[in-house]
Amino acid sequence: MKKLITEKQIKKRVRELGSRITNDYRGSVPVFIGILKGVLCFLPDLLRATNLSVELDFVVISFYHGNKKPGMLILEREIGMDIEGRHVILVDDILDTGKTLDFLVDHIKKKGAKDISICVLLEKEKEREVNIKPDYIGFSIPDKFVIGYGLDYQERFRNLPFIGVME
């Protein structure tokens, strides 16, 4: 495993994202919606870097592995609050194919959110089938499999304080 982004770099960048969100949402109370489990380190740090009144909720997404509809996404945990008319900030660990965020943006729109912005810690530099453009991006990284700071390989390595590349 090779270190790609250090703990210090993450801390600095998360503080910058928090300041930007604070400026952009000044005077309103946005709802942060985190996608578990990958967002488990990033979201709490981001919230602490944001100087606003905020509300918080989580969704859990999984992939359907059967043979009827391969690749279909399943919402395992639904948003638990009423987000109609609210400013939503959807937060994920990493933008890869974009399918997860595309699915959730659609879902959140149907629930009547006033507007939605997307915040990801990492974005893989690659061509995407879906058109997802995050409003807040921590780092753009090469199209490699990464772990740490919430990101797992077979449920392990989420507790690394830095981002590493699997070799």
SS3 104: helix
Residue with the closest Cβ to Mg ion?
A: 38
Of 30, 38, 150, 164, the residue at the interface with Mg ion (CB under 5 A) is 38
Site for Mg ion in 54-93 (CB under 5 A): none
- Contacted by 146, from Mg ion, ligand IMP, none: CB < 5 to 8 Å by type: ligand IMP
Q: What gap in Å lies between CA 32 and CA 35, rounded to an integer?
A: 10
38 binds ligand IMP (CB under 6 A): yes
Two tokens, residue 54:
């905020």
Site for ligand IMP in 134-163 (CB under 6 A): 145-147, 151
DSSP bridge partners of 56: 32
Whether 96 sits among the annotated catalytic residues: the reply is yes
Whether omega before 144 lies within 30 degrees of 0, making that bond cis, reads no
Q: Among residues 45, 92, 93, 96, which one is catalytic? A: 96
CB atoms within 10 A of CB 60: 13
The footprint of ligand IMP (CB under 6 A) covers 35, 38, 92-100, 145-147, 151
